[in-house]
Chains A and B, each alone.
Chain A
């Protein structure tokens, strides 16, 4: 939707101001991450670090086994995102477009699982993983499987995709079915391509949740080699004190992949949408 040039300049100005408000705390974190410990709370407060130091980032990468944590986070988060996008979209399609007995009741039951805080499931789930690990060592507690499995599907994701998929016109699906395509074929060839913007959105939110997850990795891992990044970074906080500079460096380092993923995905889901929906006349 292109607005008139005068409107656009006013809009840009407003958005710039608003963006600044959104971004200021993050900029403060960025600035702090380059300060010496003694300067973090220097009085009067200074925005620009002086002296500028990369020591905190060095701390982050050397005081903890950073590469290992980073790789773990990447593997765990990547797998969770892939599993969620594929299976979540497939299920969402069924809930959105297919009819089968009990569909709405099952959907509501799935929704119920969102209404219980994770802390409640923590102990039974952990116990399950512990027993599983004893029975089948490669699975269960303290393994990638243990880290990934509980988040492998997300009802939130299904709910999200169901909304997006509802807007796909039934006629397209019907004509494909009449042409003899199986439901899976329909899913693969027609639905998935049209759902790409929604899937990109889902990918972003799933990535966000999985990358920053703290409580489950804390409980389910016991070896240092299995820890994820947020967990590893928490250890940089000493008892009763915080090295703010290093903690902020850790924050920035954790947020960076997220920002990159968002930048990559946002083009896809926002730019790509208009193409799909409009073609068939709405």
Chain B
């Protein structure tokens, strides 16, 4: 008995000693609770000057804010924190680095327990669920419609603003954006005399001309075009054919229209021709296939530039980016990363100050320089860093293409059931492209399922 108690006591003491050494100083500030209104915000005062100075109109009570960042070790956010501290010395940042998957798990678990950061990077595809459940703070009152002194509408494209809005609330600030353009092996195009496709017919022809077989007379297995059965790529082709996913008031699904069928059929055509390579999300990123030469053309977002540079350095100078070929009008899905402030956050005003800081052009440029991603504010996109010639892409400026694409891209409809609808669409795509069901049937089934989900 005695020995056991001694052992227990010993272990308990050890645990306490260790944990006392181990626990950090991250205490929550007992003062501020919900937002105290516009007094703390940066927006009200600075009308003309884009650089808010540390004016006495701020509430300068020392405060610690928790920031969660999913960019990993190439984060553009961490390098800005020292500068932020200099300008806002009363705000201490408790910074936590996570990765993309972990952020999703930890953030949502935190919601349930009431342990949330003050500012977090959130993937735009998570926002519908979060916003529909009232997890994110409406940034309209805190911001007063302005970021860094200028109206929000001046700093983003309309598509971006749509992406940040849920109902009549602004639930996040778009920080980096994702939209699709055409990546292609320019060297092969030049070699084979293929012109850059601008419409679907040319796209199909280009893919066919590009593809080769490694064994004479064998199946086409080289220089193929990636075909990806997910809702992002479906939306891409759908929008280009003038179609929509849901009707304007988000009460019914309309993607089984002729535009929807066309969108699937163009992809199926490439697969049937043998010039398309079926690449599901579970297969991971395209880098291995690009490296081996299996894939020579695909549509994806700006961050693929970074992937190519790090994973396939030997193909530098062989790639180029062009506007995606479209049948009726240019169009693409718009996604990316948003900065969000949870409703349960303790220090929203201070968090908003950081959010604005990160959206300044000087900091936004870091999104490209560190993370290889595309900053979302139009000012940053037009800056020198992003418009200089890129040797990997033959001295061209891919960003200008993506900026063009962003102007015609639209976010997914913001409905609470989006996660389930996404799965329904992806399933329909896979069924149709694998030949498990006729295209119209697969789309009709998905529409039926979506309508049921929208009714709930």
Residues of A within 8 A of B (CB): 37-38, 41-43, 63, 72, 75, 79, 82-83, 86, 122-123, 126-127, 130, 133, 137-139, 141-146, 148, 184, 215, 218-219, 222-226, 231, 234-243
Contact = CB atoms under 8 A, between A and B. Distances in A.
Nearest 10 A-B pairs (CB), nearest first?
A223-B24, A43-B292, A143-B19, A41-B288, A123-B112, A127-B113, A238-B72, A126-B113, A144-B19, A144-B18
A42 B26 CA distance: 45
B54 interface: no
A236 B72 contact: yes
A38 B19 contact: no
B313 A38 contact: yes
Interface residues of B, number: 52
A122 B112 CA distance: 10
A32 B89 CA distance: 45
A218 B105 contact: yes
Contact of B18 (A37, A75, A234, A236): A75
A139 B23 CA distance: 9
B318 to A, nearest CB: 15
Given A43-B293, A86-B7, A218-B106, A236 B24 contact: no
B292 A142 contact: no
16 contacts: A79-B14, A122-B109, A123-B109, A126-B110, A126-B113, A137-B20, A139-B16, A142-B23, A143-B19, A223-B23, A224-B96, A225-B24, A237-B72, A240-B285, A241-B306, A243-B310
A167 B303 CA distance: 61
A138 B100 contact: no
Interface in B270-293: 284-285, 287-288, 291-293
Contacts of B20: 137-138
B310 A126 contact: no
Contacts of A224: 96-97
Contact of A127 (B23, B71, B114): B114
Contact of A130 (B15, B114, B311): B114
B344 to A, nearest CB: 12
Nearest to B300: A240
Contacts of B195: none
Contact of B307 (A38, A123, A223, A240): A240
Contacts of A234: 99, 101-102
A243 B285 CA distance: 12
Interface in B8-37: 11, 14-16, 18-20, 22-24, 26
B109 A222 contact: no
Given A79-B11, A215-B105, A123 B113 contact: yes
A238 B306 CA distance: 11
B311 to A, nearest CB: 7
A142 B110 CA distance: 13
Contacts of B453: none
Given A37-B311, A235-B97, A144 B15 contact: yes
Contacts of A127: 112-114
Contacts of A42: 291
Interface in B304-321: 306-307, 310-314
B22 A240 contact: no
A234 B103 CA distance: 11
Nearest to A68: B22
B22 A38 contact: no
Given A139-B16, A224-B97, 10 more contacts: A37-B311, A83-B11, A126-B112, A138-B23, A144-B18, A218-B105, A237-B99, A239-B100, A240-B303, A241-B310
A239 B1 CA distance: 53
A180 to B, nearest CB: 16
Interface in B33-78: 66, 70-74
B454 interface: no
Contact of B22 (A86, A144, A238): A144
Contacts of A146: 19
A72 to B, nearest CB: 8
A41 B291 contact: yes
Nearest to B313: A38
A226 B312 CA distance: 36
B201 interface: no
Greatest chain A CB density within 10 A among B26, B98, B109, B312 is at: B109
A86 B98 CA distance: 35
